[in-house]
Amino acid sequence: MRRMIAGNWKMNGLREDGVALASAVARQAREAKGLSCYVVLCPPATLIAPVLEAVAGSPVAVGGQNCHAEPDGAFTGEISAEMLADLGCAHVIVGHSERRMGYGETDAAVRARAEAAHRAGLVPIICVGETLDEREAGRTLDVVLRQLDRSLPVGSAAGSGTVVVAYEPVWAIGSGLVPTREDIETVHRALRTRVPAGTPILYGGSAKPDNAGELLAADEVGGLLVGGASLDAGSFWRIVESCA
């Protein structure tokens, strides 16, 4: 299965830097002879249109970082899945821990967003992950499986390729800490039992050029969701090249 490397830029980037970053990634992708993985950039909403323009004609896809469950309406400040699809996005991240924890998004809200993504023809990247307290209490599998079961769109068992799952331990995000390979494999194998065959299960949390190869070698790791290291074209591309 072709692996996925997705860059989550979070709330970073003004137009000039964002376009330069996307253009550099697109140039590398055009120059590479047959990409061995699927590359997605998820810039802030303000940069989606210029980033799409910058990657046009390259194999790089673009996604949003969140979407509202409704297609339109009186939801000041929100962006719908239809709006992302209308721009040309292929994906949308839903249920990132920064949304779950910082904005109170429940599993039900995440599921509604993932279902909205499907309604709009997008493939949602559904994030799950335990906090350090939950891990230390030995509850990692309980937490991530409960999140996944409640966040997956109803009926997603019908087909593969309709969702991507990302396992992102909250304590590993932006911290430089990474679970052991064994721990990652334990979680990914458990998640695998709950999703249709062929569903990519990404790992995310302090993925960097120097650990990407090892992370990608772990059983059931179908790619990486990269935060900080996706903000530098050189670092991000070294991670992409780790898929080879």
- Near ligand PGA by CB under 6 A: residue from 199, 206, 235, 242: 206
Residue closer to ligand PGA by CB (options 82, 237) is 237
**Strand (E) positions, the chain?**
3-8, 37-42, 61-64, 91-94, 123-128, 164-167, 201-204, 223-226
Q: Is 127 helix (H, G, I), strand (E, B) or coil?
A: strand
Residue 92: name the closest of 73, 72, 119 by CA. 119
- Contacting range for ligand PGA; rule: CB under 6 A; set: 17-25, 31-39, 62-70, 204-212: 204-212
Rule CB under 6 A: is residue 205 a binding residue for ligand PGA?
yes
User: Which residues are 6's β-sheet partners?
Assistant: 40, 225
- Near ligand PGA by CB under 6 A: residue from 155, 161, 174, 198: 174
Residue closer to ligand PGA by CB (options 144, 229) is 229
Rule CB under 6 A: is residue 226 a binding residue for ligand PGA?
yes
Rule CB under 6 A: is residue 61 a binding residue for ligand PGA?
no
Rule CB under 6 A: is residue 151 a binding residue for ligand PGA?
no
- Contacting range for ligand PGA; rule: CB under 6 A; set: 50-58, 135-143, 144-152, 225-233: 225-233
Q: What is the C-alpha separation between 36 and 1, in angstroms, rounded?
A: 10
- Near ligand PGA by CB under 6 A: residue from 92, 173, 233, 239: 173
Name the residues annotated as catalytic: 96, 168
Buried-state track 138-169, b at ≥16 Cβ within 10 A, e below 16 = eebeebbbebbeebbbeebeeeeebbbbbbbb
Residue closer to ligand PGA by CB (options 22, 239) is 239
Buried-state track 77-111, b at ≥16 Cβ within 10 A, e below 16 = eebbbbbbbeeebebbbbbbbbbbeeeebebebbb
Rule CB under 6 A: is residue 228 a binding residue for ligand PGA?
yes
* Chain residues that interact with ligand PGA, rule: CB under 6 A: 8, 168, 173-174, 204-207, 225-229
